[in-house]
Structure 1
Amino acid sequence: MRILLSAIYPYAFLLLYLIIPFDNYIRALPNILLAILVVAFPFIVKKEDFKKLKSFPIAVFLILFTYLIIDSSSSGRLFEDFNIIKKVMIAVGLAILYIPVADAKKINSAIIFSSLAAILFSVYNFVLITDAYGTFRLGDSPQVVESLLIDRLYLGLLCIFSILMSFQEIQKKYHPNNNYYLANILINAIFIVLIASKIAVVSLFVLLLIHQFYGKRKIWKIVIAIAAIAMVGALFLVVKNGKDIQLNQAVTQKKPPTFIEKSLTYEIRTVVWNCAQNIINEEGFTLTGIGFDTTKDRLVSCYETQIPNAKKREKFIAERYNTHNQFIDFYISAGVIALLLFLLFIATSFIAIRKQFFPTAMLAILLLYCMVENLFHRQIGAYYVGLILIVLMTSLKTKENKTIKTI
């Protein structure tokens, strides 16, 4: 029985990360796979596998999770906040459930094929929707927004993961598989540009910049780093100008289509960040926070008074938009202790894995996306934070993970 479960277990993990983007279509399957992993875990895990968890950054993240439970329980809001705490638990649980898996390359393959499947699905939808509309538009167009398998932010995140996994698998010496990995990198990079995922594009430039600190040929790397910084700066200017133009258009158009409004994510973040700042000013210094659910209620109250446009106000209230920043969310909802623990996790992780490009790049992605999204407010976000934890954990314990390749 144990031998059979040991053979099935890694492929259950692979299948889980393969189908995550299709959660809306096969919602029960990820939960079934998680149940299989939980049931099989005690039968196949070995005592030495737990050595992978013995690292200070992972310990800090476990302390953060424990603190969130204690903080919510002591404040009498565990029931209200459990929906968010549950997603933090998913990320922690995935890292723990992964420790019996010996071959780290399996999850890399799952991410690569998951991204390609999501791209193919989205392109197919785009063709159908374009045929229905009778027009062909890319970038921030309604066709693109409606055709994507998952939210653009998370699809861009998946593509970034796929690019990194492919780069990780490319061998220095010639190997036939290198061509496939290079092709996958190109496909994902082009797709990110076509769907106009700004945070994903910025992430690519940041990763290019980070990579210049690894390997030889320092002179050329410095040149590339300067070029990358210049391109990121130019990109921010273009984005800013684009936002100003779109904002003027939004003001002049009395009845903009709803699918265009959904694509104006910059406007959402501007409003919610202002409201979050108002809450911080009203609460002052908070040690334990006001709760995740209460934070949303306070944001909704802010939307009711701070948004003059009735249609826009109704949309914000109906959607109950969160803070769109994981750091702000931890501070307001769980206090400065949670924020400091999360920052400590990031800082200690960087110190521990700074000599390895791949885990450093994954940590940089986590940092960038936490600046514009509450990853623990979405189940898909929890899954991908779990992936980052797995990469960090296996990189911190390379002796227990012989198949991990460092660059």
Structure 2
Amino acid sequence: MKILLSATYPFIYLLLFFAIPFDNYFRVLPNILLGLLVLSFPFVVSKEDFKKLHKVPTLLFICFVAILLILSLASGRLESDSAIIQKVGLAVLFAILYIPVRDFRKIKLTIILSALAVIVFSVIKILIIIYTSEEIVLGYSREVVESLLIDRIYIGLLSILSILVSYQSLNKQYHPNNKYHLINIIINLLFLLLMVSKVALLVLGVIVLVKQLYSKKKVFKYLAATILIVAGVFTIGLINKSIKPSNQQSQTSFLQNTLTWEMRTTVWENASYIITSNPLLLKGFGYKETKEKLVASYGSRIEDKQKQARFVANRYNSHNQFLDFYLSFGIFAAGLFSGILLLLLYKNKKYFLPTSFLIVVISFCLVENVFHRQIGAYYIGFVLTALLIKNSFMLTKNDTIKDTQ
């Protein structure tokens, strides 16, 4: 029995990851596969497998889930908070369930195939729409957005993961697989351009600049560092300006115009107002109450009646995972989550691939509540798998593997 489970366990794990984007069509399948993994795990794992995990970051993530659970229990809101706690736990569980799997190369291949499957599915539906419609505006039309297999922001996340995996798999010398990885990078990049996935393209731009910091030529390092610092200061200034209340409803900031972030900046403005009105949240409001406070803020602070009605009807969340943890669970939970990411960033700063993956996580957490969706929890779980597992594919062939417990 154990031999059979050990042989099938890796394939179930891979099938789960491949099936994640198709959740809307086969909603029960990921849950069944996850259940099979959990039931099989005790029979296929060994003590040696647990040594694969970096102890400190893994324990901190487990403590983070425990703190969320304790805060919810202490505040009597476990029922309403359980959906978020489960998704955070799912991300950690996804990483732990990997440890009996021996070959990370198959995980890399699954990432690539999953992204390509999403692209093929979406392109086919777009072509059908183009064939049946008289006119279409790619990237922004409602029909195109609805034709995508998953939300555009998560397509961007998956495509970036696929691009990074292929980039890491490239060999400096000639190798027959190089051309396939280059083709995969080009396909994903073209699709992001086609979908005008601005968040993903911006993140890729940042990653390209960060790559120059690992260059042996100092001129590239200094140039990249200068651009990143200037861009960071400029972006912070724009965000601060965009979230300040304004009575001039006809004017929008450069950030809103260029990134179509009118919704996000309005949400962040209202979230900031709630934070300033309730300084130093220790336990937070809870998931449900946070959303109610945001909706109430939309109803009282947005002057444009049409816009106000839209925001109240859609009940937009904070669209920032850090803000969401602070509002829902308080300063300790938000601080621990931020601290874990900073710790991982510090521990992996010498290596480009782990750093780039952390940039991806932090960037998407800044513009999306990734733990509000199961697909977000799974993709964060993949990044955790790569970061928490020793000797994983994250290090390049020329890097020296160091145990950073």
User: 1:211 and 1:132, CA in 2 relative to 1: closer, same or farther beyond 3 A?
Assistant: same
Residue in structure 1 matched with residue 255 of structure 2 by the alignment: none
Alpha-carbon distance, 1:336 to partner: 0.7
CA distance in 2, matches of 1:36, 1:148: 29
CA distance in 2, matches of 1:358, 1:343: 20
Alpha-carbon distance, 1:136 to partner: 4.1
CA distance in 2, matches of 1:226, 1:305: 43
User: 1:402 and 1:279, CA in 2 relative to 1: closer, same or farther beyond 3 A?
Assistant: closer
The 3-state SS of whatever aligns with 2:213 is coil
Residue in structure 2 matched with residue 352 of structure 1 by the alignment: 347
CA distance in 2, matches of 1:198, 1:230: 20
CA distance in 2, matches of 1:251, 1:273: 19
Task: Establish whether residue 201 from structure 1 lines up as the match of residue 201 from structure 2.
Answer: yes
Give the TM-score normalised by structure 1.
0.87
Deviation string, structure 1 residues 326-379 (Cα, Å, up to 9, x no partner) = 111111111110111011101110121112211111111011111101111111
Does the 8 Å contact 1:325/1:371 carry over to 2?
yes
Task: Establish whether residue 363 from structure 1 lines up as the match of residue 363 from structure 2.
Answer: no
Q: Which amino acid aligns with 1:90?
A: L
Does the 8 Å contact 2:386/2:393 carry over to 1?
no
Does the 8 Å contact 1:166/1:182 carry over to 2?
yes
Residue in structure 2 matched with residue 312 of structure 1 by the alignment: 307
Higher mean alpha-carbon deviation, 135-144 vs 182-191, is at: 135-144
Residue in structure 2 matched with residue 83 of structure 1 by the alignment: 83
Q: What is the aligned-residue identity percentage? A: 48
User: 1:154 and 1:167, CA in 2 relative to 1: closer, same or farther beyond 3 A?
Assistant: same
Residue in structure 1 matched with residue 262 of structure 2 by the alignment: 267
Task: Establish whether residue 281 from structure 1 lines up as the match of residue 276 from structure 2.
Answer: yes
CA distance in 1, matches of 2:74, 2:354: 35
Alpha-carbon distance, 1:142 to partner: 3.3
Q: For structure 2, which runs of at least 5 residues remain unmatched after alignment?
A: 243-248, 252-258, 400-405
Q: For structure 1, which runs of at least 5 residues remain unmatched after alignment?
A: 244-249, 253-263
Alpha-carbon distance, 1:117 to partner: 0.7
Residue in structure 2 matched with residue 260 of structure 1 by the alignment: none
CA distance in 2, matches of 1:57, 1:377: 22
User: 1:190 and 1:315, CA in 2 relative to 1: closer, same or farther beyond 3 A?
Assistant: same
User: 1:292 and 1:403, CA in 2 relative to 1: closer, same or farther beyond 3 A?
Assistant: closer
Counterpart of 2:331 (choices 336, 342, 356) is: 336
Does the 8 Å contact 2:213/2:225 carry over to 1?
no
CA distance in 2, matches of 1:230, 1:201: 18
The 3-state SS of whatever aligns with 1:300 is helix
Residue in structure 2 matched with residue 141 of structure 1 by the alignment: 141
CA distance in 2, matches of 1:189, 1:228: 22
CA distance in 1, matches of 2:125, 2:42: 42
Residue in structure 1 matched with residue 254 of structure 2 by the alignment: none
Counterpart of 1:391 (choices 386, 395, 398) is: 386
Task: Establish whether residue 38 from structure 1 lines up as the match of residue 33 from structure 2.
Answer: no
Give the TM-score normalised by structure 2.
0.87
Q: Which amino acid aligns with 2:268?
A: W
Does the 8 Å contact 2:353/2:394 carry over to 1?
no
Alpha-carbon distance, 1:215 to partner: 4.8
Alpha-carbon distance, 1:219 to partner: 3.9
What is the number of equivalent residue pairs in this alignment? Answer: 382
Does the 8 Å contact 1:212/1:218 carry over to 2?
no
CA distance in 1, matches of 2:225, 2:83: 43
Residue in structure 2 matched with residue 178 of structure 1 by the alignment: 178
